[in-house]
Amino acid sequence: MLTAYLPPPNLGLTLIHVDTDIIVVDKPSGLLSVPGRGEGMDDCLASRVQARFPDALIAHRLDMSTSGLLVLARGAEMHRRLSRFFRERQIDKRYLAVVAGLMADDRGEVELPLICDWPNRPRQKVDFEIGKPSLTRFRVISRDPVANTTRVELEPVTGRSHQLRVHLASLGHPILGDDLYGGEATALADRLLLHAMDLGLFHPATEAPVQFHSDAPF
């Protein structure tokens, strides 16, 4: 559970795309996607967007600590269509992360089943008996031998909670700034160095493919 929620100041939305059917926004790190449980946790990306676009409905989420692209539907029908695309994995997502250590392989896959670690929630854990199938593809962008870090592109084929964070930590390369799975890497950055940089989807009104990009702020 969160012990203190200190969302970033509301300095206005970073809008990537707006039309009559969808809104694509760049979420800052430290902001919840939807309201949290408990007092003082109402401030979130969804409420900030709805203050300007009352018909906006959130169709997916990013972890509070993760920054980057998030798409909202405008109205119930567009939300139904967009939610179906996510449910049927017809959304192409790419993330950028900086991880501890020098990854040996230039590309590869991590396929480890995940389940909530209930006594330690919101942590997730690998569980080969009851975990849900989870697949992440990765591609190394660059390695920094001096800092002993690797810049890596991540594709979550499935969309489990904390999937990228747990999968990278399971490889021995936790994401810098990860306060749940980072270990010593937690102190190597002042935020989680994970950013949703590319989002490809079928437009829910026209079903034409559309692509959006956001440069990582790190």
pLDDT digits (tens, 9 = 90+) for 65-96: 999 999 999 999 999 999 999 999 899 999 99
Tokens of 135: 């697949």
Model's pTM, two decimal places? 0.95
Task: Give the pLDDT confidence of 96-129 residue by residue, as tens digits.
Answer: 999 999 999 999 999 999 999 999 989 999 999 9
Is 107 in the same domain as 122? yes
Is 82 in the same domain as 148? no
Is 103 in the same domain as 64? no
State the DSSP H helix or E strand holding residue 170, giving kind and residue range, or none if neither: helix 163-170
Task: Give the pLDDT confidence of 192-217 residue by residue, as tens digits.
Answer: 999 999 999 999 999 999 999 999 99
Provide the CA 123 distance to its chain's centre, in angstroms: 15
Question: Does residue 205 belong to any structural domain of this protein?
Answer: no
* CATH code of the domain in which 188 resides: 3.30.2350.10
Burial category of 38 from C-beta neighbours within 10 Å (exposed 0-12, middle 13-18, buried 19 and up) = exposed
Q: Which domain covers residue 152, as residue numbers?
A: 95-194
Active site residue ranges:
63
Is 134 in the same domain as 153? yes
Is 7 in the same domain as 37? yes
